[in-house]
Amino acid sequence: TNPPGHGPVKSWEHKFQAMGECFGAFEELWNQKVNAEPSADLISMLVHNPATREMDRDTYRGNVILLIVGGNDTTRNTISGSVVALNQFPAQYDKLRANPALIPSMVSETIRWQTPLAHMSRVAKTDFELGGKTIMAGDRVVMWYLSGNRDEDEIDNPNAYIIDRDQSRHHMSFGFGVHRCVGNRVAELQLTIIWEEILKRFPEIRVSGEPVRNFSNFVHGFETLPVIIPARN
């Protein structure tokens, strides 16, 4: 999601070439699955399901990008965000090491505090008044999850990172209603498991330099995060 010059992509031409190679690989995979017996993988299910087998190429590519970004950037940057948060709030890191049973709550608090996707947009279906302003049908509305997750009216001391916070899953990072992230439970499970394993192996991960944020107003993440893992005593 970064523009050229930030990350591995060197130019817009390079980016379009990489996207073409990605889409080409998935087109080939689709064609292979069309001529094969149905199997228990996502592309095969899309190919053989009556509701999706006739989808146009743009819809297919949109689903591919959604799955690549939604299941990769978000979880990866939340892992990095948890390391940053625990270093910024060392008392919480001590609390976690003393009681690993807090990992699920810590994961939810990290997802709120980090907010791996900064915003999403929707198109209003009807006229609606909000905060004294009228949103007209057809208007595009930007929902800033970053802001909602720091709402003082809904969350006590929202800028603090508190791993045993009451109602820790009360956040907007996964969206809401019919637009709630379909992978939210998988993400929570992945983050829980990785922190269970991290605490077994590495009692401390120490941030050793200033994190470099990625150059994006959408994906709230990191380009680099230097750390030191001290040797066990």
Q: pLDDT tens, position by position, for the chain (233 residues)? A: 677 777 777 888 888 898 899 999 999 999 999 989 999 998 999 999 999 999 999 999 988 888 877 778 899 999 999 999 999 999 999 999 999 999 999 999 999 999 999 999 999 999 999 989 999 999 999 999 999 999 999 999 999 999 999 999 999 999 888 888 888 999 999 999 999 999 999 989 999 999 999 888 888 999 999 999 998 76
Instruction: Give the C-alpha distances (Å, rounded to integers) separating 81 from 8, 13, 18, 84, 140.
Output: 21, 31, 27, 5, 30
Task: Give domain limits for the chain.
Answer: 12-70, 73-228
The CATH T-level fold of domain 73-228 is: Cytochrome p450 (1.10.630)
